[in-house]
């Protein structure tokens, strides 16, 4: 399992769950803890895949592409929690709310800078 140095993925998922605007996707809230856990790990996996994190979980020279990240996260959610194609938009809404919440956590923990 890929890691990010200094990141506690469970703590991050709890933070994100508590700071997401669930009014944007209330139908997903009941599974929110599991969805957030998958999204946190998938974001770490994407950071490794794009080269922004190296094998040890430390920062690297890779380029982060938000559009690619969204696709990566959507694929991860669909693999973990398959839904009919007409409900994929809910996952996109969740991802749209997730990314800034995770960034807020990373900034607060000193794991990311602007």
Degrees (nearest 5) of the Cα angle 24, 98, 50?
A: 145
pLDDT over 90 at 66, yes or no: yes
Q: What is the pLDDT confidence band of residue 68, given thresholds at 50, 70 and 90?
A: very high
| Inter-residue contact 31 to 81 (CB < 8 Å) | yes
Whether pTM > 0.75 for this model: the answer is yes
Please enumerate, as own/partner, the contacts of 46-51 that have beta carbons within 8 Å and a separation of 24 or more: 46/72, 46/73, 47/2, 47/4, 48/2
CA dihedral 29, 103, 92, 77 (to 10 degrees): -70
């Amino acid at each position: 399992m890929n890691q990010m140095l200094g990141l506690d993925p469970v703590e991050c998922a709890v933070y994100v769950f508590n700071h997401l605007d669930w009014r944007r996707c209330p139908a997903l809230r009941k599974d929110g803890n599991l969805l957030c856990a998958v999204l946190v790990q998938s974001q770490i996996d994407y950071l490794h895949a794009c080269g922004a994190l190296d094998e040890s979980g430390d920062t690297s020279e890779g380029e982060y592409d938000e559009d690619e990240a969204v696709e990566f996260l959507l694929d991860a959610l669909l693999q973990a929690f398959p839904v009919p194609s007409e409900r994929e938009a809910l996952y996109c809404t969740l991802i749209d709310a997730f990314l800034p919440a995770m960034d807020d956590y990373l900034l607060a923990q000193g794991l990311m800078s602007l």
